[in-house]
Amino acid sequence: MLVFYEERLALLSVPKTGSTAYQSALKDRADIVVSGPTELKHANMRRFDRFYQTMFKKLFDTEMEVMAVVREPIDWLGSWYRYRTRQELRNHPHSTHGLDFEAFVVAHMQKSPPACADVGRQSEFLMPRSNGVRVSHVFKYENQSKILDFLRNRLNCDIQLPQENVSPKLKLELSKDTDQQFRSLFAAEFALHQSAE
C-alpha cells in the first residue's frame, strides 16, 4: 500500500494486480510505504478505512481518496494459479503443483476452498465498511496506460514500471461448463471489473 499525503491519495495493493511493481516504481515518491507484513501491505478497503483513514481524520482532519486496480476474474485466478506453481511452494498447502487450471477453479468455487485455491475475492477486498466509505477510483488491470496517466497527473511525476513477481507461463483452459458455473457464482466479480475504468 502507498500513501501520498500531499496529493491525498492512497493506492491499495490488491493482490495479483501489479501492486508490487507500482510499489517499486513509487516507493521513493510516497509518504507512506507499507510493504509488509502481508496483512498490512494488502490492507483491504475496510481495514484501510478503519485504521489508516481514521488516523488521517484524527491527526490531520483530512481524508485520502483511495484507488485500486482489479483484474478480469478468470485472469486474476489464472495469476494466482500460476504464482502458486512456483518451485519454492512445492509440498506447501498453497502449492498448485500437480493441479491443472480447471481443477484449481473448481476448488476455488467450493464453499470452503482448500488452501491452494483459497485466494479470496476482489469484490470482498474492495467492499466498503458499513459507514459507506468506498474506493474512489477503480481501474482495470489491463488499462495500464489509464492507471499510469492518472498517477502521473495526480502525482506530477514520471513513472517507469519494472516487471515484478512475474508468474510462470502456463495454459489456462476451462471447460465450457466450469466457465459458465464460475461466471454465475462469481457474478459480483465480473460486475466489479466491468464497472472499473
Q: Report pTM.
A: 0.94
Q: Report the C-alpha gap between 190 and 185 in whole angstroms.
A: 10
Q: What digits encode the pLDDT tens for the residues 51-65? A: 999 999 999 999 999
Mean of pLDDT over the chain: 95
Cα 62 from Cα 81, distance rounded (Å): 40
State pLDDT tens for residues 1-31.
999 999 999 999 999 999 999 999 999 999 9
Contact call for residues 9 and 64 (beta carbons, < 8 A): yes
Distance, in Å, from the CA atom of 190 to the CA atom of 45, rounded to the nearest integer, reads 19
Q: Which CATH architecture has domain 2-195?
A: 3-Layer(aba) Sandwich (3.40)
Q: Flag whether pLDDT at 41 surpasses 80.
A: yes
Mean pLDDT of 25-44: 95
- Which is nearest to 123 in space by CA: 53, 38, 186, 51? 186
Of 167, 175, 140, which is closest to residue 81 (Cα–Cα)? 167
Q: How many helices (H) and strands (E) does the chain have?
A: 10, 5
Q: Name the one residue in this structure whose C-alpha cell is 512445492.
A: 90
d(CA 109, CA 112): 8
Q: How confident is the model at residue 131 (pLDDT cuts 50, 70, 90)?
A: confident
- Which residue(s) pair with 10 in the sheet? 3, 66
pLDDT digits (tens, 9 = 90+) for 141-196: 999 999 999 999 999 999 999 887 777 788 899 999 999 999 999 999 999 999 99
Of 59, 56, 58, nearest to 8 (Cα)?
56
Q: According to the model, what pLDDT value does residue 183 have?
A: 98
Residue 168 φ then ψ, to 5°: -60, 150
Amino acid at 163: Q
Residues whose CB falls within 8 Å of the CB of residue 14, separated by 6 or more in sequence, listed in order: 42, 68, 69, 70, 71, 122, 125, 126
Residues 6+ apart with CB under 8 A from 89: 95, 96, 97
67 pairs with which residues across the strands? 11, 137
